[in-house]
Protein backbone atom coordinates (compact mmCIF):
# COMPACT_ATOMS: atom_id res chain seq x y z
CA UNK A 1 0.00 0.00 0.00
CA UNK A 2 1.09 3.58 -0.67
CA UNK A 3 1.81 5.69 2.36
CA UNK A 4 -0.92 8.08 3.42
CA UNK A 5 1.38 11.04 2.75
CA UNK A 6 1.96 10.07 -0.85
CA UNK A 7 -0.61 11.56 -3.22
CA UNK A 8 0.16 11.26 -6.93
CA UNK A 9 -0.65 14.54 -8.66
CA UNK A 10 -3.19 14.61 -11.51
CA UNK A 11 -3.56 10.84 -11.25
CA UNK A 12 -6.80 10.39 -13.22
CA UNK A 13 -5.66 12.92 -15.78
CA UNK A 14 -2.34 11.10 -16.19
CA UNK A 15 -3.99 7.75 -16.90
CA UNK A 16 -6.31 9.39 -19.42
CA UNK A 17 -3.50 11.35 -21.06
CA UNK A 18 -1.34 8.25 -21.44
CA UNK A 19 -4.38 6.44 -22.85
CA UNK A 20 -3.39 3.40 -20.79
CA UNK A 21 -4.66 0.15 -22.29
CA UNK A 22 -4.43 -3.52 -21.25
CA UNK A 23 -1.24 -5.06 -22.55
CA UNK A 24 0.51 -1.73 -23.06
CA UNK A 25 4.12 -0.89 -22.29
CA UNK A 26 4.83 2.28 -20.33
CA UNK A 27 7.77 4.12 -18.80
CA UNK A 28 7.61 6.17 -15.60
CA UNK A 29 10.80 8.22 -15.80
CA UNK A 30 10.36 9.68 -12.31
CA UNK A 31 9.15 6.69 -10.35
CA UNK A 32 9.16 8.31 -6.92
CA UNK A 33 7.03 6.26 -4.55
CA UNK A 34 5.28 4.49 -7.39
CA UNK A 35 1.86 6.17 -7.18
CA UNK A 36 1.46 6.85 -10.88
CA UNK A 37 3.17 3.57 -11.73
CA UNK A 38 0.72 1.58 -9.60
CA UNK A 39 -2.27 3.14 -11.36
CA UNK A 40 -0.70 2.47 -14.77
CA UNK A 41 -0.10 -1.18 -13.89
CA UNK A 42 -3.65 -1.57 -12.61
CA UNK A 43 -5.11 -0.04 -15.77
CA UNK A 44 -2.85 -2.00 -18.17
CA UNK A 45 -3.70 -5.38 -16.67
CA UNK A 46 -3.71 -7.97 -18.11
CA UNK A 47 -0.41 -8.07 -19.93
CA UNK A 48 0.79 -4.56 -19.16
CA UNK A 49 4.46 -3.82 -18.53
CA UNK A 50 6.13 -0.86 -16.88
CA UNK A 51 9.70 0.37 -16.68
CA UNK A 52 10.25 2.62 -13.66
CA UNK A 53 13.30 4.86 -13.45
CA UNK A 54 14.50 7.07 -10.61
CA UNK A 55 17.87 8.55 -9.68
CA UNK A 56 17.08 8.37 -5.97
CA UNK A 57 17.92 4.98 -4.38
CA UNK A 58 15.59 5.73 -1.46
CA UNK A 59 12.71 6.22 -3.89
CA UNK A 60 13.67 2.99 -5.64
CA UNK A 61 13.37 1.10 -2.35
CA UNK A 62 9.96 2.61 -1.55
CA UNK A 63 8.60 2.00 -5.03
CA UNK A 64 9.84 -1.59 -5.06
CA UNK A 65 7.81 -2.21 -1.91
CA UNK A 66 4.72 -0.35 -3.14
CA UNK A 67 4.69 -2.17 -6.48
CA UNK A 68 5.45 -5.66 -5.12
CA UNK A 69 2.03 -6.93 -6.22
CA UNK A 70 3.11 -6.38 -9.83
CA UNK A 71 6.69 -7.59 -9.52
CA UNK A 72 6.29 -9.76 -12.63
CA UNK A 73 5.13 -6.81 -14.72
CA UNK A 74 7.45 -4.05 -13.58
CA UNK A 75 11.15 -3.41 -14.12
CA UNK A 76 12.67 -0.89 -11.69
CA UNK A 77 15.99 0.77 -12.53
CA UNK A 78 18.04 3.32 -10.63
CA UNK A 79 19.25 5.83 -13.16
CA UNK A 80 18.77 9.25 -14.67
CA UNK A 81 16.03 9.82 -17.22
CA UNK A 82 18.59 11.63 -19.36
CA UNK A 83 19.90 8.11 -20.09
CA UNK A 84 16.46 6.88 -21.14
CA UNK A 85 17.56 5.54 -24.52
CA UNK A 86 20.47 3.61 -23.03
CA UNK A 87 18.30 2.10 -20.29
CA UNK A 88 15.62 1.05 -22.79
CA UNK A 89 18.23 -0.49 -25.05
CA UNK A 90 19.80 -2.37 -22.16
CA UNK A 91 16.49 -3.97 -21.18
CA UNK A 92 14.96 -4.18 -24.68
CA UNK A 93 12.10 -1.96 -23.53
CA UNK A 94 11.12 -0.08 -26.69
CA UNK A 95 9.01 0.93 -28.46
CA UNK A 96 6.49 1.86 -25.78
CA UNK A 97 2.93 3.18 -25.63
CA UNK A 98 3.57 5.97 -23.17
CA UNK A 99 6.26 7.90 -21.28
CA UNK A 100 5.56 9.87 -18.09
CA UNK A 101 7.74 12.50 -16.42
CA UNK A 102 6.40 13.88 -13.13
CA UNK A 103 9.00 16.46 -12.18
CA UNK A 104 7.88 17.12 -8.61
CA UNK A 105 9.43 16.01 -5.34
CA UNK A 106 7.66 13.39 -3.24
CA UNK A 107 6.23 14.12 0.19
CA UNK A 108 8.91 11.90 1.72
CA UNK A 109 11.68 13.93 0.08
CA UNK A 110 10.18 17.18 1.33
CA UNK A 111 9.12 16.10 4.83
CA UNK A 112 11.41 13.29 5.92
CA UNK A 113 14.51 13.14 3.74
CA UNK A 114 17.79 13.99 5.53
CA UNK A 115 19.39 15.39 2.35
CA UNK A 116 18.06 18.90 2.82
CA UNK A 117 15.56 19.32 0.00
CA UNK A 118 13.35 21.44 2.27
CA UNK A 119 13.92 24.06 4.97
CA UNK A 120 11.00 22.64 6.96
CA UNK A 121 13.44 20.44 8.89
CA UNK A 122 17.10 20.93 9.78
CA UNK A 123 19.43 18.82 7.67
CA UNK A 124 22.75 18.96 5.87
CA UNK A 125 22.83 20.85 2.59
CA UNK A 126 23.11 17.88 0.27
CA UNK A 127 20.16 17.91 -2.22
CA UNK A 128 21.56 15.15 -4.43
CA UNK A 129 18.97 12.74 -5.80
CA UNK A 130 21.78 10.31 -6.55
CA UNK A 131 24.30 10.14 -3.68
CA UNK A 132 26.93 8.97 -6.16
CA UNK A 133 27.08 12.48 -7.58
CA UNK A 134 30.01 14.54 -6.38
CA UNK A 135 28.65 18.08 -6.01
CA UNK A 136 26.33 18.92 -3.11
CA UNK A 137 24.35 22.05 -2.33
CA UNK A 138 26.89 22.84 0.41
CA UNK A 139 29.68 22.74 -2.19
CA UNK A 140 27.85 25.29 -4.33
CA UNK A 141 26.93 27.55 -1.41
CA UNK A 142 30.37 27.57 0.18
CA UNK A 143 32.70 27.37 -2.85
CA UNK A 144 31.03 29.44 -5.58
CA UNK A 145 31.81 33.10 -6.05
CA UNK A 146 29.08 35.58 -5.20
CA UNK A 147 28.65 36.27 -8.92
CA UNK A 148 28.19 32.57 -9.64
CA UNK A 149 25.73 32.21 -6.77
CA UNK A 150 23.68 35.17 -7.94
CA UNK A 151 23.52 33.70 -11.44
CA UNK A 152 22.32 30.33 -10.11
CA UNK A 153 19.65 31.95 -7.95
CA UNK A 154 18.47 34.21 -10.77
CA UNK A 155 18.52 31.61 -13.57
CA UNK A 156 17.24 28.55 -11.69
CA UNK A 157 15.16 30.20 -8.97
CA UNK A 158 13.97 33.33 -10.77
CA UNK A 159 14.95 35.06 -7.53
CA UNK A 160 14.56 38.88 -7.71
CA UNK A 161 16.89 39.32 -4.71
CA UNK A 162 19.61 37.05 -6.13
CA UNK A 163 22.50 39.48 -5.75
CA UNK A 164 21.47 40.53 -2.25
CA UNK A 165 21.18 36.88 -1.11
CA UNK A 166 24.49 35.91 -2.74
CA UNK A 167 26.21 38.84 -1.05
CA UNK A 168 24.86 37.87 2.38
CA UNK A 169 25.86 34.23 1.87
CA UNK A 170 29.38 35.37 1.01
CA UNK A 171 29.55 37.38 4.24
CA UNK A 172 28.51 34.59 6.62
CA UNK A 173 29.63 31.29 5.09
CA UNK A 174 30.42 28.51 5.67
CA UNK A 175 26.78 27.47 5.85
CA UNK A 176 26.19 23.83 6.66
CA UNK A 177 22.47 23.20 7.26
CA UNK A 178 19.09 24.00 5.75
CA UNK A 179 17.98 26.07 8.71
CA UNK A 180 21.15 28.15 8.59
CA UNK A 181 20.62 28.87 4.90
CA UNK A 182 16.93 29.68 5.29
CA UNK A 183 17.77 32.15 8.06
CA UNK A 184 20.50 33.80 5.99
CA UNK A 185 18.12 34.23 3.02
CA UNK A 186 15.42 35.67 5.28
CA UNK A 187 17.92 38.16 6.69
CA UNK A 188 19.09 39.12 3.20
CA UNK A 189 15.62 39.98 1.90
CA UNK A 190 14.45 41.67 5.09
CA UNK A 191 12.09 39.05 6.45
CA UNK A 192 8.98 37.43 5.01
CA UNK A 193 6.97 38.99 2.21
CA UNK A 194 3.65 37.20 1.72
CA UNK A 195 2.79 33.55 2.20
CA UNK A 196 5.79 32.03 0.42
CA UNK A 197 8.92 31.64 2.55
CA UNK A 198 11.73 33.83 1.16
CA UNK A 199 14.08 30.84 0.92
CA UNK A 200 11.78 28.87 -1.40
CA UNK A 201 13.38 30.08 -4.64
CA UNK A 202 16.88 29.66 -3.27
CA UNK A 203 16.26 26.03 -2.37
CA UNK A 204 14.69 25.39 -5.77
CA UNK A 205 17.66 26.94 -7.55
CA UNK A 206 20.22 24.94 -5.59
CA UNK A 207 18.38 21.64 -6.13
CA UNK A 208 18.15 22.29 -9.86
CA UNK A 209 21.84 23.19 -10.05
CA UNK A 210 23.00 20.20 -8.00
CA UNK A 211 21.04 17.69 -10.09
CA UNK A 212 21.34 19.49 -13.46
CA UNK A 213 17.58 19.12 -13.72
CA UNK A 214 16.85 21.44 -16.63
CA UNK A 215 19.69 20.10 -18.76
CA UNK A 216 18.60 16.52 -18.06
CA UNK A 217 14.97 17.37 -18.83
CA UNK A 218 15.86 18.76 -22.25
CA UNK A 219 17.85 15.61 -23.02
CA UNK A 220 15.14 13.27 -21.72
CA UNK A 221 12.38 14.82 -23.82
CA UNK A 222 14.22 14.08 -27.04
CA UNK A 223 14.99 10.55 -25.97
CA UNK A 224 11.38 9.95 -24.92
CA UNK A 225 10.28 10.62 -28.48
CA UNK A 226 12.85 8.11 -29.70
CA UNK A 227 11.51 5.27 -27.55
CA UNK A 228 7.82 5.97 -28.18
CA UNK A 229 6.02 3.98 -30.84
CA UNK A 230 3.80 5.78 -33.34
CA UNK A 231 0.66 6.90 -31.49
CA UNK A 232 2.44 6.70 -28.13
CA UNK A 233 1.90 9.48 -25.62
CA UNK A 234 4.39 11.75 -23.87
CA UNK A 235 3.02 13.19 -20.61
CA UNK A 236 4.97 15.73 -18.54
CA UNK A 237 3.91 17.26 -15.22
CA UNK A 238 5.96 20.31 -14.26
CA UNK A 239 5.84 22.51 -11.17
CA UNK A 240 7.55 25.77 -12.08
CA UNK A 241 7.84 28.02 -15.10
CA UNK A 242 11.38 26.96 -16.04
CA UNK A 243 10.37 23.33 -16.51
CA UNK A 244 7.08 24.17 -18.20
CA UNK A 245 8.80 26.52 -20.63
CA UNK A 246 11.21 23.79 -21.71
CA UNK A 247 8.38 21.31 -22.24
CA UNK A 248 6.23 23.85 -24.08
CA UNK A 249 9.00 24.88 -26.46
CA UNK A 250 9.99 21.26 -27.10
CA UNK A 251 6.49 20.07 -27.96
CA UNK A 252 5.83 23.14 -30.10
CA UNK A 253 9.06 22.68 -32.02
CA UNK A 254 8.58 18.96 -32.52
CA UNK A 255 5.02 19.47 -33.78
CA UNK A 256 6.25 21.56 -36.74
CA UNK A 257 7.87 20.43 -39.96
CA UNK A 258 9.97 23.55 -40.44
CA UNK A 259 11.82 25.25 -37.60
CA UNK A 260 13.76 27.75 -39.68
CA UNK A 261 13.73 31.40 -38.51
CA UNK A 262 10.80 33.30 -40.03
CA UNK A 263 13.10 35.55 -42.08
CA UNK A 264 14.53 32.62 -44.05
CA UNK A 265 12.72 32.47 -47.44
CA UNK A 266 13.68 28.85 -48.22
CA UNK A 267 13.48 26.06 -45.67
CA UNK A 268 16.82 24.37 -45.21
CA UNK A 269 16.45 22.86 -41.71
CA UNK A 270 15.35 19.41 -42.87
CA UNK A 271 13.28 19.07 -39.72
CA UNK A 272 10.13 16.95 -39.73
CA UNK A 273 7.43 16.91 -37.07
CA UNK A 274 7.54 13.99 -34.65
CA UNK A 275 4.75 15.01 -32.27
CA UNK A 276 1.16 16.19 -32.23
CA UNK A 277 0.24 18.43 -29.31
CA UNK A 278 -2.77 16.82 -27.63
CA UNK A 279 -3.81 19.48 -25.13
CA UNK A 280 -3.71 23.02 -26.47
CA UNK A 281 -4.62 24.20 -22.98
CA UNK A 282 -2.50 23.25 -19.96
CA UNK A 283 -4.10 20.64 -17.69
CA UNK A 284 -4.09 21.70 -14.04
CA UNK A 285 -5.40 20.12 -10.83
CA UNK A 286 -9.02 20.59 -9.89
CA UNK A 287 -9.97 22.76 -6.93
CA UNK A 288 -10.89 19.57 -5.09
CA UNK A 289 -7.43 18.07 -5.65
CA UNK A 290 -5.72 21.26 -4.53
CA UNK A 291 -7.77 21.28 -1.32
CA UNK A 292 -6.87 17.64 -0.71
CA UNK A 293 -3.22 18.05 -1.69
CA UNK A 294 -2.03 21.70 -1.57
CA UNK A 295 1.34 20.73 -3.04
CA UNK A 296 -0.40 19.99 -6.33
CA UNK A 297 -1.44 23.62 -6.83
CA UNK A 298 1.46 24.54 -9.13
CA UNK A 299 1.29 21.39 -11.30
CA UNK A 300 0.91 21.79 -15.07
CA UNK A 301 0.48 18.89 -17.46
CA UNK A 302 1.35 18.87 -21.16
CA UNK A 303 0.56 15.96 -23.46
CA UNK A 304 1.86 15.10 -26.92
CA UNK A 305 1.46 12.11 -29.22
CA UNK A 306 4.13 10.68 -31.46
CA UNK A 307 3.30 10.76 -35.14
CA UNK A 308 4.89 9.10 -38.12
CA UNK A 309 7.50 11.39 -39.59
CA UNK A 310 6.61 12.72 -43.03
CA UNK A 311 8.86 12.36 -46.07
CA UNK A 312 10.21 15.75 -46.96
CA UNK A 313 12.48 15.12 -49.91
CA UNK A 314 11.35 18.40 -51.46
CA UNK A 315 11.51 20.47 -48.30
CA UNK A 316 14.98 21.90 -48.75
CA UNK A 317 13.90 23.48 -52.01
CA UNK A 318 10.52 24.63 -50.67
CA UNK A 319 10.02 28.38 -50.83
CA UNK A 320 8.31 29.90 -47.84
CA UNK A 321 5.78 32.42 -49.09
CA UNK A 322 4.00 35.03 -47.00
CA UNK A 323 0.56 36.11 -48.07
CA UNK A 324 -0.01 39.81 -48.50
pLDDT for residue 6 = 61
What is the percent of the chain where pLDDT is above 70?
93
pLDDT for residue 110 = 72
- The band of 313, judged by pLDDT with boundaries at 50, 70 and 90, is very low
Better pLDDT: 229 or 314: 229
pLDDT for residue 218 = 98
Residues 102 and 161 in one domain: no
* Peptide bond preceding 46 in cis form (omega within 30 of 0): yes
In a domain, 202, yes or no: yes
In a domain, 2, yes or no: no
In a domain, 199, yes or no: yes
Residues 165 and 297 in one domain: no
In a domain, 226, yes or no: yes
The domain containing residue 102 runs over which residues? 11-108+214-254+275-308
| Among the listed residues 97, 96, 98, 115, the one whose alpha carbon sits nearest the alpha carbon of residue 106 | 115
Residues 101 and 225 in one domain: yes
pLDDT for residue 148 = 98
Spatial strand order in the sheet of 25-28: 74-78, 49-54, 25-28, 96-102, 228-238, 300-306, 275-277
pLDDT for residue 267 = 84
pLDDT for residue 167 = 98
pLDDT for residue 56 = 94
Query: What is the average pLDDT score of the chain?
Result: 91
- The three-state secondary structure class of 34 is coil
CATH number assigned to the domain comprising residue 29: 3.40.50.150
| Residue range 99-137, pLDDT digits in tens | 999 998 877 777 677 889 988 889 999 999 999 999 999
Give the chain's domain count. 2
| Residue range 45-61, pLDDT digits in tens | 999 999 999 999 999 99
| Among the listed residues 50, 13, 52, the one whose alpha carbon sits nearest the alpha carbon of residue 31 | 52
pLDDT for residue 310 = 67
pTM (predicted TM-score): 0.90
Residues 75 and 142 in one domain: no
Whether 28 contacts 97, CB under 8 Å:
no
Residues 79 and 135 in one domain: no
pLDDT for residue 3 = 36
Instruction: Judge whether residue 317 has pLDDT over 90.
Output: no
Residues 129 and 15 in one domain: no
Whether 165 contacts 189, CB under 8 Å:
yes
| Residue range 16-34, pLDDT digits in tens | 999 999 999 999 999 999 9
Of the CA atoms within 13 Å of residue 74, those in its CB half-sphere come to 27
Amino acid sequence: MLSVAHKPVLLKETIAALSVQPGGRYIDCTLGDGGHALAILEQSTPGGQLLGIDADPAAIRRATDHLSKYRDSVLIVQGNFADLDTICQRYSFAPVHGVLLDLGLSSEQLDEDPRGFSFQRDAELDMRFDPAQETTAADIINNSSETELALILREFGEEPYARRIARRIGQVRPIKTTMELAKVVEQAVGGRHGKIHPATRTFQALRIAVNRELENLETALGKAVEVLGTGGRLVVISYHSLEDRIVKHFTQRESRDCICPPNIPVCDCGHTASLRVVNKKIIIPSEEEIRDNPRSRSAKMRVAEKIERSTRADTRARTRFSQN
